[in-house]
Amino acid sequence: MERKTNGAGGVVRVRVPATSANLGPGFDSLGIALTMYNELELELYREEKFDIESFGEGAEMLPTDGTNMIWGAVRRLLSRIGQADEYRGMKLRMYSRIPVSRGLGSSAAAIVGGLRAANEWLGRPLGKKELLGIATELEGHPDNVAPAVYGGFSVSVTYGGGPESISFRPDIPLKAVVAVPDFTLSTRLARSVLPDTVPRADGVFNVGRAALLAAAMARGKAGYLKMALEDRLHQPYRKSLIPGFDDVTEAAGKAGAAGCVLSGAGPSIIAFTLEKEAAVGDAMVEAFRANGTEARAIVLSIDREGAKVISHRREW
């Protein structure tokens, strides 16, 4: 498909939120955008040349050549619109706050940020839904990339080979308290401990809770969060990879959180609360420490905008 582009050029700056996937029962389906952001600036080059610099979280890990994940996303977009031969390099400045490999959607943010910036630079040949489709192909599942694109709370499925997603702004003034431990966990390892089949009772347990969570978020029913955040599909298998998981979630509850779950594939743990967010964070950090792990607590709100263009200027 060749798409016309217009207004191409300049330097595009994009902001993209951290995300937390699964939210307990909604494995590979539910996700939420958080008010912690990476920003990136992008210019495409016609020649095969890479000028990449990265600052902040994980800066030393970001490849500065064509193996860069953001370039992988940009190249996929260029192929999709039939312009892969016209732009073969890029200048990129990456400013990261989202911790890497901690279950907070840093790879989704890189992919979605790169797609949004390149799409803007090229004069917006694709819409958000098409960007979501490309991002899901690259990420493998839609639960982080959907809230990164749209903001808010997302319910996503794969249908006919592509993602379908409904996102909305939850009607609850929730704070998200994220306890980020000082070790990383790869999604691949966290998926490898999951069984291929589960008891029907566990499937039924999760279906009801995932649906209840979406309904509670949409209708502002905070009183249902505790039960709606329960899960039997992934956390029982993954918690052996996170020392102190049960103690941290219990401590969050005792300190006043409405519910507490593994963030994405972990190892971060996220508590949702209407009150006492500082005390919840302290309790989670203390429980991690009692299990021999240093952690930091970050208090966030729910992002309502998703990836957005901050500026599109003529030059650097």
Which of 39, 41, 57, 143 touches ligand HSE (CB under 6 A)?
143
Q: Which amino acid is present at 241?
A: L
Size of site (CB under 6 A) for ligand HSE: 13
Pick the closer one to ligand HSE by CB: 21 or 252: 21
Residue 222 — left, alpha, or beta (φ > 0 → left; ψ -120 to 50 → alpha)? alpha
| Contacts of 213 by beta carbon, 8 Å cutoff, 6+ apart | 23, 24, 25, 26, 30, 224, 225, 228, 229
* Interface positions, 180-199, toward ligand HSE (CB under 6 A): 187, 190-191
HSE (side-chain half, CA atoms, 13 Å) at 273: 24
Q: Does 21 bind ligand HSE (CB under 6 A)?
A: yes
CA distance 160 to 111: 22
Q: Of the ranges 21-29, 130-138, 274-282, 285-293, which one interacts with ligand HSE (CB under 6 A)?
A: 21-29
Separation of alpha carbons 285 and 291, rounded Å: 10
The 45-84 site mask, x for binding ligand HSE (CB under 6 A), equals ----------------------------------------
Q: Output the smallest distance, CB 100 to ligand HSE, in A.
A: 13
Structure tokens at 287: 């429980």
303 binds ligand HSE (CB under 6 A): no
Question: Can residue 102 be called a binding residue for ligand HSE (CB under 6 A)?
Answer: no
* Cβ at position 166, least distance to ligand HSE in Å: 17
Residue with tokens 């390099």: 89
Residue among 5 and 20 whose Cβ is closer to ligand HSE: 20
**Contact flag: residue 249 with ligand HSE (CB under 6 A):** no
> In this chain, which of 28, 43, 120, 231 binds ligand HSE, going by CB under 6 A?
28
Distance CA 37, CA 263 (A): 16
Minimum CB separation of residue 2 from ligand HSE in Å reads 33
Gap between the Cα atoms of 81 and 111, Å rounded: 17
By CB under 6 A, is residue 231 in contact with ligand HSE?
no
**Minimum distance, C-beta of residue 282 to ligand HSE, in the bound complex (Å):** 27
Least gap, CB of 108 to ligand HSE (angstroms): 8
Q: Does residue number 136 form part of the binding site for ligand HSE (CB under 6 A)?
A: no
Least separation in angstroms between CB 154 and ligand HSE: 12
Among 33, 131, 260, 265, binds ligand HSE (CB under 6 A): 265
Residue 154 near residue 32 (C-beta atoms within 8 A)? yes
User: Chain-centre distance of CA 166, in angstroms?
Assistant: 16
**Can you point out the beta strands (E) in the chain?**
11-21, 30-45, 50-56, 89-96, 153-159, 162-168, 175-181, 259-262, 269-273, 295-300, 308-313
C-alpha 134/C-alpha 140 separation (Å) is 10
Q: How far is the CB of 207 from ligand HSE (least distance, A)?
A: 16
User: What is the phi-psi region of residue 70: left when phi exceeds 0, alpha when psi lies from -120 to 50, beta otherwise?
Assistant: alpha
> Residue with structure tokens 């690259």?
138
CB of 312 to ligand HSE, least distance (A): 30
Query: Which range binds ligand HSE by CB under 6 A, 37-45, 57-65, 75-83, 137-145?
Result: 137-145
Smallest distance, ligand HSE to C-beta of residue 265, A: 4
Q: Are 10 and 117 in contact (CB under 8 A)?
A: no
Q: Footprint of ligand HSE on this chain (CB under 6 A)?
A: 21-22, 27-28, 141, 143-144, 187, 190-191, 234, 264-265
